[in-house]
Structure 1
Amino acid sequence: MQRFEAPVGLSIARLSAPQPSPFHVARPRLIHLLDDAATLPLTLVTGGPGTGKTNAVTAWIRGGQVPGPVAWVTLDKTLDTPSRLWSAIIAALASSLGALTLGELQPPGTIEPAFIDVLRDRVGGHEVVLVLDDVHELGADALAGLDHFLRIPPAGMHTVLISRHVPVLALHRHRLAGRLGEVRAADLEFRREEIGDLVEAHGLMADDVLVDELLRVSGGWVAGLRLALLTMSGAPDPRKALAGFRGEQPMVAGYLTEELEHSLGAELFDVLTRTCVADRICGPLAVALTGDSSLVDTLRERLGEAPLVAELSGTGWFRYHPLLLQMLRARLRRIDPALMRELHARASDWFEGQGEWLTALDHAIASGDWSLAIRVALRSGTVELLHASTDLLGLTLDRIPDLGPAQHGPVLLIRAAAALGRHEYAAATSLVERAAPLLGGLDEPDRSVALLNTRMMESLLARAAGDAAAMTRAALDAVDLLAGLDAEDAPGWACHRGAPLSMVGLGHLWFGRPLAAVAALREADRADTRSPLSGYDDVWRTGNMALALAISGDITDAQTLAQAARALATELGGPTASETQTAWLASAILALQRGDTADLMRYLKAGQEAAARGHDPFTTAVLMLLRCRAAQHVGDPAGAARELARAADHLAAYPGLIYAVRLWASVAALAELQVNRSVEGAQRILAEHDRREAVWAEAARAAGATGAAAPSEATALEVDPLRIVRAHVLLASGQPERVREVLADVVRRPATISVLAWIAIAFAEDQMRHDALATEAIGEAIELAHGAGLTTPFRNPSPRLQAILVRHREVDGRHADFVDALLEARDAQGTPAAPARPVEALTERELAVLAYLPTMRSNAEIADALDISVNTVKQHLKSVHRKLEVGSRREAVRKARQVGLLPEPAAAE
């Protein structure tokens, strides 16, 4: 079949008002009613089918006192989700007001009051008329957001709602406040004088008797009048034809069939019949449905002859009157049900080629060809799982019935997709597991398409479960499967080739491979050149790249991408949409590193708001740990402990969040060292974590995925938050000589990581009394920190750091102002009070050795005095250093005096 592109997209056609009928007559009474209503913020036009609601409003737009440009949206069931509804409204407003007025505004997946407020602010002050036709098509969720928007209408905006019944909105408030104008069914009915004008528009002579009879048989009902006049226009004796007309609604279908077929001729009536399966029709779609290639050019001319058909202005799309549509479909279903099924199949094929996945699936299901419905569902329909609003997908897929054994596996997959679309994760997981063994016998490409769906759903389910390994393994398989499929095999998925790559990138991030994550996400961007990605998809990818770069220590690029993601989300109208979570976390990490407390708290608050709008166990864990670090940063140890405990509970439920678990272990171990002064506690946490690492590695080997979806040596080298902590544990346990080796490769990392490494090395060298090497190491740290604007790494509470910084200022002198600022900040921060006694008591012999340290005696002299060996003295000194958490005799004496184990020196005479 020859392919023709639509004149404009169906989504654009919905934004065009229908053109008036050739038999349209002016109705000043209605125009005046709508003019009066337009002085108020809101107009409601209600009436049943065929009452002329839409025609009345379009006539007013063309001949009334319309208070601004018109933004028109014709609603249907495909717009019955909040995000789709607001996408259409924004597109209509942008078309009328200009794209610059709204900027890049797009609805987030979950419509929040903040988005509505942004839209209201941007529209406010601009004269515009928003017309929403067929509001009765909207469900409760879509109406809720509309209700919030209308409660405080934007200044300068007038809204017209057209509906078959009064919609479930808080209209009583508008009535009481005098903000609502109404035009009801009784107002829409033709009056006697208007009927006379309509008769003459049809080329008939109007007299009182004829007008009275038309009023009697129609009751002023617009559709009844038009049908009666259609009957009369084609009859040799119009009055006799009217005498036989019954305008009551039960008779309408019969008259439509008989009179239209007679007046239009069999050929055009056949065009109407064959095209009625679609809610709207254009030339290329008519060609696909009828096989008549001439319709691509002649449809407008031919349908212009048909009553009850209106063109959507300037779009090449036509809309049949609902009564005509119902009649044609009922007739086609009755006389040729097989043809109706075939036409639905053709419509499905055409809409799939246009990228209208849900419309294609809807027609495939209506065709009753369940093999076709299954193929369309899996090769195109299920891509809707990638979008934020998936409820409509679930409802559509539920219409596919259970079938025989040959289709059992694919049907189970479809049931799984429907459950996943409703966020029923346990049910979806069970259905995928049941379907997987049943797919091997399918023919290609159906088998590969089914496996692609299996792997993508497994990856999405693993993401919801916080299982980084399973998510990545499934996504990698999906990448390979999709690469082997042509666009004809899977039209929908071929337009989303970047989707599995995005999941791979997310897996790398969750493992702690930030650079690999960025590479995969950028590859996903390149692969998705044909994808109709929304702006929020861009926000999500950019935010994840920003977070990955922040974790890797690339401050500049992380800052750029985080700001870009946040700016785009703000422009779209959802500054804290769920897709912004990672962008806010990246910004918070950068603020923490540069010691900007105000920004840190602001970013964490925004990140919390975004996290509340979307389930993401990884960002939730990172957010908790960042709040812990923030509490430590502002001197709130109790708050830090609470957040650390909350993170532990969260990660107990999501143990597959490997990088987050590592991050928790590093924060917890460091807290043991710096807050609880417990080397043993830190060592215990690290030992427990090392056991987890061994389990992860073994699981990866068993799955055959080491290095691709599991921890590996390469993973540890890319980013390991535990390396710095391990160095500090070595320092606290009296092993400073090992620190430089442990951090040898870490000092080559970006500044946010290498500064911490150089500080730890400076501690180690100072502890070993290598003053020159300690000064050199702290100089490296200061050089890097000054260039990157980092101050937080120097908030380590150890007095040793204070002394090293002072020595650097006196000996080296580089960046003196920066060092002075660091020292002033440390003075303002204060030194945490030491505990009254060491956590672990010294033995009697250790106390005896400690008592000799202020005397500056050598180890041999102390051994002589205590009648023990020199080696025993060394062992006791090592134990004293460990228990007091110091690295030298000098520090041991100072600490012992602080905690009351040694007396203060006597004052000089």
Structure 2
Amino acid sequence: LVEEVLDRQPDTIRSFLLHTSVLDRLTGGLCDAVTLGTNGRATLEQLDRSNLFLVALDDRRHWYRYHHLFADVLHARLIDEDPDLIDELHRRASNWYSANGEPAKAIDHAMAGHNADEAARLIELAAPAMRQSRQEAALGRWLEALPDGLFTNRPVLAMGLIGARMATGNTTGVEPLLQLVEESVHRTDLSPIVFDTDMFEHLPAQLLIQRAGLALLAGDLNSASAHAVDALELVEPDDHLRRGSATALLALAHWAAGDLDTAIHRYTEAINELTTAGHLADMLGCSLALADIQIAQGKLTDAQRTFDSGLRWTAEHPGLRGAADIHAGLSEVLIERNDLDAAAHHLETSNELGESAGLPQHAYRWRVTMARLQRAWGNVNGALELIDEAAPLYNTDFSPPVRPVGAIRARVQLALGELDAALRWVAERGLTTDDELSYIREYEHITLARVLIARHAAVPDSHELDDATRLLERLLVAAEHGGRTGSVIEVQILLASAYDARGDTAAAIAALDDA
């Protein structure tokens, strides 16, 4: 039927239909640009009146699309009859979208039309706004689709690819790209292709920022801090974006090292800089990290204040990326305070806002937090299901993995009485009570102590219980020294349990009093 309808059309209408089949949305001006005609709007209105497989996309009937089946037939016919014209049609569409302020659609058509040079130009110019709104995923897809050779003499474009990869913890090919950019900065005999001149001027500082991020991902906290400090010394006081970025990396390095007080100070500075720069999604990302640290310190009132501030920003800027994360984060504080109904409300709001309002870790974070809520409600099986859903969604980013999903799962398994599963996790992670302690592994080591206490309860072994007790005593000293009140309280409660299992009631009571 669709083929018959197409074949019955006059040549002018048939040509219009075929040429505009490269478009997923239709409006008069765009159709004129693609068909090189002047009556696109009138033709669309005629097709609309004829009920010719056209769907209006707005009440004003300004934008349309073809019915999907009809669009497929049109495009297949275009490929058969005039395949050499397709790239040119996409080029025209790309030019129209670019001139009409829709860079994303312009890039899509440039890519579809195999115009890599034009796509590269458009991507470079669109990248700052996309980074500001935290659209790294879309930016990364475009950049990865470009030919590798295109980056050789485009240092700003290469820096964009570096940032897109590292935003998700992917360091593949980053070092050669950094060296390529460094060569463009330091050599005067090169003539790089540049469209974003502001970024090009700031490449020296941006290189240091990315070097700091790369060192952070590699666990080299000293180098990360050194590069970030060098970047701060290089950028001007009014370059709030790069000052905020470098300061946030310093905060991350201190967080990973367990120096939470300094991390809080640096995050506060970064939030102020990024707010001034207008990078509100990045500011919300730093706010999440700040609140996580405040929770670790047991400062629930401070954490709630941080989240409340984030909520005010999201209310003033509807659709702001990070809004969903702020609601999910606030629910964590409410769970800690046993206000489970309010926590459920914020998790539901977070879910309703959807992935478009979430930062890269949102899908993971939401499920982990919902698992905590399910467990608080007594639905431990439901909690385990959510943890299993969360695990493959975790994207390595710059934030230190202070609560690895494997350790979270092991704790839920213990609550379900699945001791063997928790012991397998201990073996897989290679954890022992004699390990050198670090903040990054603190949650895992506390979980190890929980597993050992549970195994002692199932199969009494005084030697194993003694090992768990010594580990907890070491963890207590480290947590107290680092000002991590949340860990201190948890360890003291576990110590009370261990002392009680050993028959030392006085020590158990003293530990509970301290908690």
Structure 1 position 667 matched with structure 2 position 408:
yes
Are the aligned partners of 1:665 and 1:689 in contact in 2 as well (CA < 8 Å)?
A: no
Contact preservation (8 Å) 1:505, 1:518: yes
1:633 is the counterpart of 2:358: no
In the alignment, residue 450 of structure 1 is paired with which amino acid? L
The answer for the alignment partner of 1:586 in structure 2 is 329
Aligned to 1:171: 60
C-alpha RMSD of matched pairs (Å):
5.2
Question: What letter corresponds to residue 302 of structure 2 in structure 1?
Answer: D
Amino acid at match of 1:659: P
- Where do 5+ consecutive residues of structure 2 fail to align? 1-27, 31-55, 63-102, 104-119, 189-198
Deviations along 1:649-690, one digit per CA (max 9) or x if unpaired, are: 334x64987515x43233222233331241x43233123224
The answer as to 2:457 corresponding to 1:729 is no
Question: Is residue 473 of structure 2 the alignment partner of residue 741 of structure 1?
Answer: yes
Tell whether 2:347 aligns with 1:604: yes
Q: Secondary structure at the match of 1:720?
A: helix
Q: Is the 8 A contact 2:208 2:230 kept in 1?
A: no
1:344-365, CA deviations, whole angstroms, 9 ceiling, x for partnerless residues? xxxxxxxxxxxxxx9xxxxxxx
2:512 is matched with which residue? 778
Corresponding residue of 1:720: 442
| Local SS of the residue matching 2:133 | coil
Determine whether 1:500 maps to 2:234: no
CA distance in 2, matches of 1:561, 1:435: 35
Equivalent pair of 2:296/2:487 in contact (CA under 8 Å): no
Of stretches 764-773 and 741-750 in structure 1, the one that deviates more from structure 2 is: 741-750
User: Retained in 1: the 8 A contact 2:134–2:281?
Assistant: no
For 1:722 and 1:426, the matched residues in 2 are separated by: 21
Shift of 1:554: 1.9
The aligned amino acid for 1:598 is D
Matched, 1:553 2:289: no
Q: Which amino acid aligns with 1:741?
A: E
Note the C-alpha offset of 1:766: 1.7
CA distance in 1, matches of 2:502, 2:168: 56
Cα distance in 1 for residues equivalent to 2:165 and 2:383: 36
Relative distance call for 1:609 and 1:517 in structure 2 (3 A) is farther
**Partners of 2:296 and 2:484 within 8 A in 1:** no
Asked if the contact 2:159–2:181 (Cα under 8 Å) also holds between the matched residues in 1, the reply is: no
**Cα distance, 1:456–1:472 mapped onto 2, change above 3 Å:** farther
State the partner residue of 2:227: 477
Are residues 630 and 473 of structure 1, via their aligned partners in 2, closer, same or farther at CA, if it must alter by over 3 Å?
farther
* Distance in 2 between residues matched to 1:578 and 1:654, nearest whole Å: 19
Retained in 1: the 8 A contact 2:133–2:279? no
Q: 1:474 to 1:436 in 2, by over 3 A?
A: farther
C-alpha contact 2:307 2:326 (8 A) present in aligned 1: yes
2:492 partner amino acid:
W
TM-score (norm 2): 0.57
Superposed, 1:177-326 pairs within 5 Å as none
- Tell me how far apart the structure 2 counterparts of residues 382 and 766 of structure 1 sit (CA, whole Å): 59
- 1:721 CA displacement: 1.7
Partners of 2:439 and 2:167 in 1: CA distance: 33
Q: How many angstroms apart in 2 are the aligned matches of 1:614 and 1:473?
A: 33
Deviations 1:174-201 (A, max 9, x none): xxxxxxxxxxxxxxxxxxxxxxxxxxxx
Shift of 1:416: 5.3
Letter of the aligned partner of 1:171 in structure 2? R
Of all paired residues, the percent bearing the same amino acid is: 16
Structure label with greater radius of gyration = 1
Q: Within 5 A, what are the aligned runs for 1:178-577? A: 383-384=128-129, 386-388=131-133, 409-414=152-157, 417=160, 433-434=176-177, 436-437=179-180, 439-440=182-183, 442-443=185-186, 449-454=202-207, 456=209, 469=219, 477=227, 479-481=229-231, 483-485=233-235, 493=239, 496-506=242-252, 514-525=260-271, 531-533=276-278, 535-574=280-319, 577=320
Question: Aligned partners of 1:723 and 1:610: how far apart in 2?
Answer: 36
Residue identity in the other structure for 1:601: A
Cα distance between partner residues in 2 of 1:612 and 1:511: 31
Change (3 A) 1:443 1:725: closer
CA distance in 1, matches of 2:257, 2:367: 18
Given the superposition, is the C-alpha separation of residues 500 and 657 from structure 1 closer, same or farther in structure 2, using an over 3 Å criterion?
closer
Larger helix proportion of the pair: 2
Q: CA deviation at 1:764?
A: 1.8
With structure 1 as the length reference, what TM-score do the two structures score? 0.35
Q: 1:544 to 1:408 in 2, by over 3 A?
A: closer
CA contact (8 A) 1:611 1:620 kept: no
2:500 paired residue number: 766
CA distance in 2, matches of 1:741, 1:681: 26
C-alpha displacement of 1:644: 1.9
Whole-Å separation in 1 of the counterparts to 2:439 and 2:289: 18
Query: Could you say if the C-alpha distance between residues 645 and 601 of structure 1 is closer, same or farther in structure 2, counting changes exceeding 3 Å?
Result: same
Q: Tell me how far apart the structure 2 counterparts of residues 622 and 552 of structure 1 sit (CA, whole Å).
A: 20
Instruction: Read off the aligned partner of 1:772 and give its amino acid letter.
Output: A
C-alpha deviation, 1:171, in angstroms: 0.8
Amino acid across the alignment from 2:401: Y
**Cα pair distance change 1:536/1:547, threshold 3 Å:** same
Amino acid at match of 1:675: L
Displacement, 1:768? 1.9
Whether the 8 Å contact between 1:562 and 1:583 is mirrored in structure 2 is yes
Q: Alpha-carbon deviation of 1:479?
A: 4.9
Q: Which residue of 2 aligns with 1:687?
A: 427
Kindly provide the amino acid, as one letter, of the partner of residue 533 in structure 1: G
Q: Alpha carbons of 1:596 and 1:659: their partners in 2 closer, same or farther (altered >3 Å)?
A: same
CA 1:448/1:720 → structure 2, altered by over 3 Å: closer, same or farther?
farther
Equivalent position of 1:35 in the other structure: none
Which deviations, in whole Å up to 9, do the C-alpha atoms of 1:786-839 show, x marking residues without a partner?
A: xxxxxxxxxxxxxxxxxxxxxxxxxxxxxxxxxxxxxxxxxxxxxxxxxxxxxx
